[in-house]
Amino acid sequence: MQLRERSFIIAVYPSKQAIIFAIILGSVAARRGSRIPDHAVRASAFAAWAFPPFILALILMNVFYAWLGWFPPERMSIWASPIVNSEQFRNYTGLLTVDALLNLNLDIFLDALRHLVLPAFTLALTVWALLTRIMRSSLLEVMRQDYITTARAKGVPEGKIVGRHARRNAILPVISAAGVMVSVLITGIVVIEVIFNYNGVGRWAVRAILASDVPVAVGFALFASIITVLTSLLSDILYAVVDPRVRLF
Q: Answer yes or no: is 16 within a domain.
A: yes
pLDDT of res. 246: 66
Are 6 and 200 in contact, with CB atoms under 8 Å apart?
A: yes
pLDDT of res. 1: 42
Q: State the DSSP string of 180-223.
A: HHHHHHHHHHHHHHHHTT--SHHHHHHHHHHTT-HHHHHHHHHH
Are 116 and 196 in contact, with CB atoms under 8 Å apart?
A: no
Q: Answer yes or no: is 72 within a domain.
A: yes
Q: Answer yes or no: is 248 within a domain.
A: no
Q: How many domains does the chain have?
A: 1
Alpha helical stretches, state H, the chain: 2-31, 36-50, 53-61, 81-84, 96-102, 106-142, 146-153, 158-160, 167-195, 201-210, 214-242
pLDDT of res. 249: 53
Q: Answer yes or no: is 249 within a domain.
A: no
pLDDT of res. 26: 82
Q: Answer yes or no: is 20 within a domain.
A: yes
- For the chain, 249 residues long, the average pLDDT of each consecutive 10-residue run is 47 65 82 80 84 83 86 82 84 79 86 84 82 86 84 82 79 81 74 78 79 83 82 80 66
Q: Answer yes or no: is 219 within a domain.
A: yes
Q: Answer yes or no: is 247 within a domain.
A: no
pLDDT of res. 170: 82
pLDDT of res. 81: 83
According to DSSP, residue 95 is labeled -
Return the closest-CA partner of residue 185 out of 10, 2, 3, 4: 10
pLDDT of res. 14: 59
Q: Answer yes or no: is 41 within a domain.
A: yes
pLDDT of res. 5: 43
- Residue 11 maps to which CATH number? 1.10.3720.10
Question: Which residue range is the domain that position 233 belongs to?
Answer: 2-242
